Amino acid sequence: MLDIGHIHRKEYGIDAGGTERIIIAEAPGRIHYLGEHGEPKAGLFLSSGIDRYIRVALSPRKDNSFRFYAPDLGERKRTTLANLKYKREDRWSNYLKTPIHGFLELGYPVKGLNVTVAGDIPLHTGLASSSAIEVAAGVALREFFKAPLSTDELLAQIILSQKTLFEKPGIPIDYAIALYAEEDCFLVADETTLTVRPVPANLGEYQIILMDSRVPRMGLDNELRIRRQALKKGLTLLAQKKTGTSLRDFVTADLIESMGNLPEEIRRRSMHIIQELRRICDAEEALLKGDLPALSKLIFHSHESLRDLYEVSCPEIDWLVKRGQETEGVLGSRMTGLGFGGCTYTILTPKAAEEYRRRIEDYERIFGFRPIMHTIKLAQGARII
């Protein structure tokens, strides 16, 4: 990753031997291994932070302006204290404005700032890079102001400021994961309570490969909206026979009993969610017991469910997962992210990684896209560096 401290000093003319205070913080990207297609605001996830980060450096200015620099993009943005609001053309710098707005609302003496942001989270792959920007900037500002804010309080303020600034809710669970992730741990992340529970990974020699399929995604928002509407209708129909406020309150047997009352498409969508919730609980139990074969089955079954019941996979993703299934030494392989392209993750031994790479050599010839492979580790949450 770029030396953000050196870049920040050079960009804003700060003497390396001077006394001017520069704060640098980082926040990790995140990956969901199970659960990302749950009900809005009622999701349950098996996730982790990953060792790909966004870093934010900031230092004070003598005026009331804000200067933002993204060396990875070669772009600069600016605004003032009086004009601190969301602007579509400001793109990435809007995420830096979120925590600045939050500390202003909390009454801290926010004045001008020089801000630099850089990172190595792969973009447009569903790894929560924008949330990492907001969290890293929030942690940096907390240190800058020596603010006596707990992590829970910081989380709540980022959520509130994002909603106020963007005039729409963000993805609060991504902030929680970025703040509370632990090294070498999976996280059971609960969207209803905004809490995360660390579970030691105990993967031994296994490593995790993230594969970016490079498949362009079109019409994604509409497809996902249709599926969320199906889940809402499914909940309404199920609640006619049994009290429940979310699909968490139902089990597979409830769907079977209501088969005649549920349209087939709604039944399949709801079935995926209900069974995925069970898989997350079972995965936590398997990890605590060190039962990796059980974890393997859950991961593969989850992908099959995303493919056949929720129908958000695609031929390219299925092909990559299939190559994983065929490779000896692979613990599990599954799509991750919003679907219709995006990424897969594969948990495998170093020896299996060599064979897996060989097996996917035909991917570009068959589909016309060159996949990008990243080896990742389960990483800790946001911190001052």
Domain hosting residue 259, numbered range: 207-377
Whether residues 86 and 12 share a domain: the answer is: yes
Q: What is the mean pLDDT of residues 42-58?
A: 97
Whether residues 262 and 325 share a domain: the answer is: yes
pLDDT at 41: 85
Whether residues 337 and 236 share a domain: the answer is: yes
The contacts found for 365-372 with CB under 8 angstroms, 24 or more apart, are: 366/319, 367/215, 367/315, 367/316, 367/319, 369/213, 369/214, 369/215, 369/316, 370/214, 371/211, 371/212, 371/213, 371/214, 371/320, 372/122, 372/211, 372/212, 372/214
Whether residues 186 and 211 share a domain: the answer is: no
pLDDT at 259: 67
Sequence-distant (6+) residues with CB within 8 A of 9 are 15, 16, 22
- Record the tokens describing residue 184, joined without a space: 């070498």
pLDDT at 53: 97
Q: Which residues are paired to 113 by β-bridges?
A: 60, 66
The pTM (predicted TM-score) of the whole model is 0.94
Domain boundary among 152, 170, 201: 201
- Is the separation of the CB atoms in 53 and 383 below 8 Å? no
How does pLDDT run across 292-309, given as a tens digit for each residue?
999 999 999 999 999 999
Query: What total number of domains does the chain contain?
Result: 2
pLDDT at 2 over 80: no
Q: Which residues are paired to 25 by β-bridges?
A: 56, 384
Whether residues 114 and 141 share a domain: the answer is: yes
Whether residues 101 and 213 share a domain: the answer is: no
pLDDT at 242 over 90: no
Quickly state the pLDDT bin for 34 (edges 50, 70, 90).
very high
- Is the separation of the CB atoms in 378 and 19 below 8 Å? no
72 flagged as catalytic:
no
Compute the distance between CA of residue 181 and CA of residue 155 in angstroms, rounded to an integer. Answer: 13
How does pLDDT run across 316-349, given as a tens digit for each residue?
999 999 999 999 999 999 999 999 999 999 999 9
- Is the separation of the CB atoms in 27 and 53 below 8 Å? yes
Note whether residue 383 is domain-resident.
Answer: no
CATH of the domain at 321: 3.30.70.890
Q: What is the mean pLDDT of residues 119-125?
A: 88
Q: Which residues are paired to 67 by β-bridges?
A: 78, 114
Mean model confidence pLDDT for the chain = 94
Note whether residue 384 is domain-resident.
Answer: no
Whether residues 214 and 143 share a domain: the answer is: no
Compute the distance between CA of residue 300 and CA of residue 50 in angstroms, rounded to an integer. Answer: 21
Q: Which of 174, 212, 249, 318 is catalytic?
A: 174
Sequence-distant (6+) residues with CB within 8 A of 167 are 86
Whether residues 107 and 187 share a domain: the answer is: yes
